[in-house]
Amino acid sequence: MTGRALQWISRDEVDWDAVYAEQLPRVYNFFRYRCGNPADAEDLTSITFEKAWRGRDRYRRDKGAFSTWLFTIARNAAVDHYRARMPSVPLAEAALVAAAAANPEDQTSLRSDADRLAALLPTLSDRDRELIALKYGAEMSNRDIAHATGLSESNVGTIVHRAVQALRERW
Amino acid sequence: MGELNLEALRREPDPEFAERLRARLRQQPAGRVRHGRHPLAKLAAGLAVTAAAGLALTLPTVRARASSFLALFREVSFVAVPVSSTDVQRVNGLDLEHLIGDRVQVLEQNAAVAVTSPEQANTVAGFTMLLPSVLPEGTVRTGIEVGGRNVARITADTTRLKQVLDALGLSDLDVPQELDGETAMITVSPMVMTGFAQGDRKAMFVQGPMPEVLMPAGVDLAQLGEIGLRVLGMPADEARTFAKSVDWRTTFLVPVPPMATRFRQTLVGSDRGIVVEGPIIDDVTKAEKGNWNLLLWSRGGRVYAIRSTMRLADVMAMANSLQ
């Protein structure tokens, strides 16, 4: 083993500060799209980085890029978050959006594009919303999303396209 | 109402939040992310070329299935092979995962675990670890980890191997056709990794059983060795002569990286080993700010390595005081 062990023992390392600076906005925005609530987004971002920090020795480059590994932790954190809060929040959000869509006056109260998008995202299925969050929140390519989710790249493209169409129709 | 604005929710994280989180992370033990591949994956990637190629011979000791067990009880020899940056770039430029990834099957993969005591390390690793009885002044033990057992099977594909060699500009090399479809098994047993710190200076002491590559019977190890040496950049004539003069069942090739400034043979007690040394370069100023060293030796069927930024004399004293 020793030839390769020379490299193994040397334990190539990455600059954690650089990783933090690069990935923090992506993870944070992933949660903004995934969960909608900025406070939850901060909490879940903290959870993600703390888990990644504690488990950094488990990261293996052969299993994918560092960002893919980080977003696996982020996606799991989102799942745990929803599991802990279900069923009240998603249903309540959905009801709120449905009511808003039915009432033009309420629609006018959605003053900004951000408010409007935040209100529409919960109308998507869980899977579609996650892909939208990865695509437009984390700014991942379809290929990276495919690696992170296990879906094929073409499947990711199709799902994202349909989800965007659905949002556009309700905008 | 305007067009759907899908970027509308995106915001920069609040700087105070970002700083709070960064500070919280920093309060935890100074961390490093292991960016390297899993040890087995490294082996697998290299061995993908190897199993059929000779790079395998730079890895564990190799034994043929039909060979006697005598080789297992011999001490291994370390042979340092300087590798130029051109050679490194040439090998790194290959998309090995694409070329041979589907020929590698990971049969067992276990992550390293942190343990709290040498006794626990012994239990997890399955052997009694050694510790230096002499430590340089101000040196403390910082932690112990035990690497997991990892096993991979590699199926040789001589066509792919030939493609790899052609891509490396080694078209003159013959690939042993009898290897095609044969499998090699690589087993990496748990290894104990003990960290030490002396102020800013660090050392990592690794010890464990010899990893093994089980090759198909009848394989011409010298021929594979020659391929391995050529891949490492050794000239053709020298590689052929050297390959025939070496007992490949007990020889470890140690590629010496271009950043190393010197390497030499040494003795740890009565056991032969090698030392590789090089400078530590400051990332910002690019100035030398010290030296790193790597000491490798074997004893009683186990391999030992200390990689450190401590003074070499201190490392040698630690190695010579193991008990």
Tens digit of each residue's pLDDT, chain B (323 residues): 578 889 989 999 998 899 888 888 877 654 433 333 333 333 333 333 322 223 323 333 333 332 222 233 335 667 777 777 677 677 766 666 666 656 778 888 888 888 999 999 999 999 999 999 999 999 999 999 998 888 888 888 888 888 888 888 888 988 888 888 888 888 888 999 999 999 889 999 999 987 777 777 777 888 888 888 888 777 888 888 888 887 777 777 777 776 777 777 888 988 888 888 888 877 677 777 788 898 888 887 788 989 899 999 999 999 999 98
Give residue for tokens 């992310």. Answer: B33
User: Measured between beta carbons, which residues in chain B are less than 8 angstroms from residue A167?
Assistant: 4, 6
| Chain A residues inside the 8 Å CB shell of B211 | 1
Residues 73 to 132 of B: which have CB under 8 A from any A CB?
78, 111-112, 114
Alpha-carbon distances, residue B247 vs A76, B67, B76 (angstroms): 51, 13, 9
Q: Which of A26-40, A103-117, B141-155 has the lowest mean pLDDT?
A: A103-117
Residue from B76, B300, B24, B65 nearest B184 by CA: B65
Answer yes or no: do B252 and A58 touch at CB < 8 A.
Answer: no
Contact B254, B276 (CB under 8 A): yes
Nearest residue, CB atoms, A56 vs list B31, B43, B46: B31
Our CA-based measurement puts residue B213 at a distance from the nearest CA of chain A, in whole angstroms, of 9
The long-range contacts involving B255-259, CB below 8 angstroms and separated by at least 24 positions, are: B255/A3, B255/A6, B255/B58, B255/B81, B255/B82, B255/B83, B256/B80, B256/B81, B256/B82, B256/B83, B257/A6, B257/B83, B257/B88, B258/B83, B258/B84, B258/B85, B258/B88
Q: How far is A103 from chain B (nearest CA, A)?
A: 15
CB contact residues (below 8 A), chain B span 217-256, against chain A: 252-255
Name the DSSP letter for residue B168.
T
Q: How does DSSP assign A44-105, residue by residue?
A: HHHHHHHHHHHTGGG--GGG--HHHHHHHHHHHHHHHHHHHHTTHHHHHHHHHHHHHHH-HH
Read off the DSSP letter of residue B323: -
Decide if B16 touches A, using CB distance below 8 A: no
pLDDT confidence of residue B310 = 93
Inter-chain touch A168–B303, beta carbons under 8 Å: no
Write the residue in B6, B39, B307 that is nearest to A136 by C-beta.
Answer: B6
The minimal CB distance from A9 to the residues B4, B14, B305 is found for B305
Q: What is the pTM of this model?
A: 0.51
Of B12, B17, B36, nearest to A8 by CB-CB distance is B36
Chain A touched by B41 (CB under 8 Å)? yes
Q: For residue range A77-99, what is the model confidence (pLDDT) as tens digits?
A: 888 777 655 433 333 333 333 33
Q: How far apart are CA A150 and CA A26, in angstroms?
A: 20
Q: Which residue has the tokens 């101000």?
A: B138
Chain B CB contacts of A113 under 8 Å are 2, 5, 8
Q: Which of B4, B11, B44 sits opposite A171 (nearest CB)?
A: B4
Does position A105 have pLDDT exceeding 80, yes or no? no
Interface predicted TM-score (ipTM) of this complex, two decimals = 0.77
Nearest to A50 among B1, B17, B25 (CB): B25
CA nearest to B212 within chain A: A1
Does the pLDDT of residue A169 top 80, yes or no?
yes
Q: CB distance B35–A54 less than 8 Å?
A: no
Chain A nearest-CA residue for B16: A42
